[in-house]
Amino acid sequence: MQSILLVEDSDRIASFVVKGLQSHGFDCARCESGEEALKLIAAADFDLVILDIGLPGIDGFEVLRSMRGQGFDVPVIVLTARDSVDNTVASFAGGADDYMGKPFSFDELLARVRTRIRKQSSATATEQSLELGSLTLNLLTRKAERDGKEHELTAREFGILEFLMSHPGQVISREQLLSRVWSYDHDPESNVVDVYIRYLRQKLGNDVIQTVRGVGYRMVANI
């Protein structure tokens, strides 16, 4: 069963959407604020997010920027009463996959949900590995191979390596790795990321992951 997160502060709209999606076979969770949405997205694997812009606290634009900044590539359909060209452009620029203004037709929303999930499932099925120079990460077996030698990875090692390899050459902070691989509320003062980076270097080589002092880590793009 595909899982959808609805981020919507209106009880009336949320009840209507959740009941409709559940009646069509989707598992639908709902939250009311941007802060709660980021925690749920970091803690669970959703197939799709339906995101309102006018949220209490941090708005939907900030949620979208934070999601994409942390590397979460789950499809997002923006659903908002702010139906204007500027907001449409801002939504797509921030990383949205689709945009619908309120009021809306549930049948149209359902069609867009199915289309986005189908596209995501198709893309996931074809992406079975990540390759970077001499290093290959098999996304199905969760094993890494370098120079013909295969390495078993723990769940945390795999999570870190997958995130770094998905952003070659980009500096990833410890906080981003903690949020993605552990949980949104993990202690930012913990050295657990450094420990697992050391484990990965012991298996794959010290030249694979660079330390950017005071910032985080970067996957070497030409290993």
The pLDDT score that the predictor gives to residue 99 is 85
What 3-state class would DSSP assign to 183? coil
Please write the tens of the pLDDT for every residue from 45-70.
899 999 999 898 899 999 998 988 88
pLDDT band at 104 (very low <50, low <70, confident <90, very high): confident
The beta-carbon contacts of 107-114 under 8 Å, at least 24 apart in sequence, are 109/17, 109/20, 109/50, 109/77, 109/79, 110/20, 110/21, 110/24, 112/77, 113/4, 113/21, 113/26, 113/48, 113/50, 113/77
Please write the tens of the pLDDT for every residue from 26-39.
999 999 999 999 99
Please write the tens of the pLDDT for every residue from 153-199.
998 899 999 989 988 888 888 888 887 787 545 565 678 899 999 99
The pLDDT score that the predictor gives to residue 84 is 60
CB-count burial class (<10 Å; 0-12, 13-18, 19+) for 117: middle
What 3-state class would DSSP assign to 143? strand
